[in-house]
Amino acid sequence: MNMRTGEPVEETAPPDLEGLLAAQRRAVLAANPPDLAARRQSLDALAGLVRTHREAMIAAVSADFGNRARQETELGELLPLMNGIRHVRRHLKSWMRPERRRPGLAFRPASARVEYQPLGVVGILSPWNYPLFLTLGPLVDALAAGNRVMIKPSELAPRTAELLERLLAGLFAPDQVAVVRGGAGVAQAFSRLAFDHLIFTGSTGVGRAVMQAAAPNLTPVTLELGGKSPVLLLPGQDPDRAARTIAMGKFFNAGQTCVAPDYVLVPRAQMAGFAAAMLRCAERMYPAITGNPDYTSIITGRHYARLVSLVEGAVAAGAGVRRHADPGDAGRRLFPPTLLIDPPADSAVMGEEIFGPILPLVPYDRVEDAVRFVNERPKPLALYCYGRDERQVAEVLDRTRSGGVTVNATMLHVGQEDLPFGGVGESGMGAYHGREGFRQLSHARAVLRMGRFNASHMVAAPYGRLVRLVTR
Task: Give the active site residue among 258, 281, 385, 417.
Answer: 258
Closest approach of ligand NAD to the CB of residue 180, in Å: 10
Q: Cβ closer to ligand NAD: 52 or 212?
A: 212
Which segment (13-21, 83-91, 154-162, 236-244) binds ligand NAD by CB under 6 A? 154-162
Which segment (183-191, 283-291, 337-345, 366-374) binds ligand NAD by CB under 6 A? 183-191
Q: Cβ closer to ligand NAD: 335 or 364?
A: 335
CB atoms within 10 A of CB 90: 10
User: Interface with ligand NAD includes 129 (CB under 6 A)?
Assistant: yes
Q: What angle do CA 279, 275, 350 make, to 5 degrees?
A: 105
Q: What CA–CA distances, in Å, run from 170 to 23, 122, 133, 167, 333?
A: 18, 20, 19, 5, 34
Contact 141, 88 (CB under 8 A): yes
Q: Cβ closer to ligand NAD: 15 or 428?
A: 428
User: Interface with ligand NAD includes 81 (CB under 6 A)?
Assistant: no
Closest approach of ligand NAD to the CB of residue 333, in Å: 15
Q: Secondary structure of the chain: what % helix, strand, coil (to 5)?
A: 45, 20, 35
Which residue of 203, 217, 408, 456 would you call a contact of ligand NAD, by CB under 6 A? Answer: 203
Q: What CA–CA distances, in Å, run from 169 to 94, 172, 236?
A: 30, 6, 55
User: Interface with ligand NAD includes 176 (CB under 6 A)?
Assistant: no
- From first CA to last CA, the distance across the chain in angstroms is 71
User: Interface with ligand NAD includes 428 (CB under 6 A)?
Assistant: yes
Tell me how far apart the alpha carbons of residues 428 and 407 are, in angstroms, rounded to a whole number. Answer: 21
Active site residue 281: no
Which residue of 77, 141, 155, 426 would you call a contact of ligand NAD, by CB under 6 A? Answer: 155
Which residue of 24, 73, 160, 201 would you call a contact of ligand NAD, by CB under 6 A? Answer: 201
Task: Give the active site residue among 77, 224, 353, 426.
Answer: 224
Contact 364, 266 (CB under 8 A): yes
Site for ligand NAD in 289-328 (CB under 6 A): none
**Per-residue x/- track, 379-418, ligand NAD (CB under 6 A):** --x-------------------------------------
| DSSP-H helix ranges across 53-183 | 54-65, 70-73, 79-96, 133-144, 158-171
User: Interface with ligand NAD includes 217 (CB under 6 A)?
Assistant: no
Tell me how far apart the alpha carbons of residues 257 and 351 are, in angstroms, rounded to a whole number. Answer: 17
User: Interface with ligand NAD includes 191 (CB under 6 A)?
Assistant: yes
Contact 404, 382 (CB under 8 A): yes
Which segment (74-82, 148-156, 280-288, 449-457) binds ligand NAD by CB under 6 A? 148-156
Q: Cβ closer to ligand NAD: 242 or 259?
A: 259
Looking only at the bridges linking them, the beta strands covering 320-323 and 428-429 are: unpaired
DSSP classification of residue 388: S
Residues of 106-127 as b/e, b for ≥16 C-beta within 10 angstroms?
eeeeeebeeebebbbbbbbbbb
Contact 470, 226 (CB under 8 A): no
Residues of 350-381 as b/e, b for ≥16 C-beta within 10 angstroms?
bebbbbbbbbbbbbbeebeebbebbeebebbb
Q: Cβ closer to ligand NAD: 387 or 437?
A: 437
Which residue of 15, 255, 423, 430 would you call a contact of ligand NAD, by CB under 6 A? Answer: 423
Site for ligand NAD in 15-74 (CB under 6 A): none
Closest approach of ligand NAD to the CB of residue 429, in Å: 11
DSSP classification of residue 325: S
CB atoms within 10 A of CB 101: 12
Determine the 3-state secondary structure of 400 from DSSP: coil
User: Interface with ligand NAD includes 356 (CB under 6 A)?
Assistant: no
Which residue of 226, 336, 337, 380 would you call a contact of ligand NAD, by CB under 6 A? Answer: 226
Active site residue 224: yes
Closest approach of ligand NAD to the CB of residue 117, in Å: 26
User: Interface with ligand NAD includes 253 (CB under 6 A)?
Assistant: no
Contacts to ligand NAD by CB under 6 A: 125-129, 134, 152, 154-156, 184, 187-188, 191, 201-203, 206, 209-210, 224-226, 258, 353, 355, 381, 423, 428
Q: Which residues are catalytic?
A: 224, 258
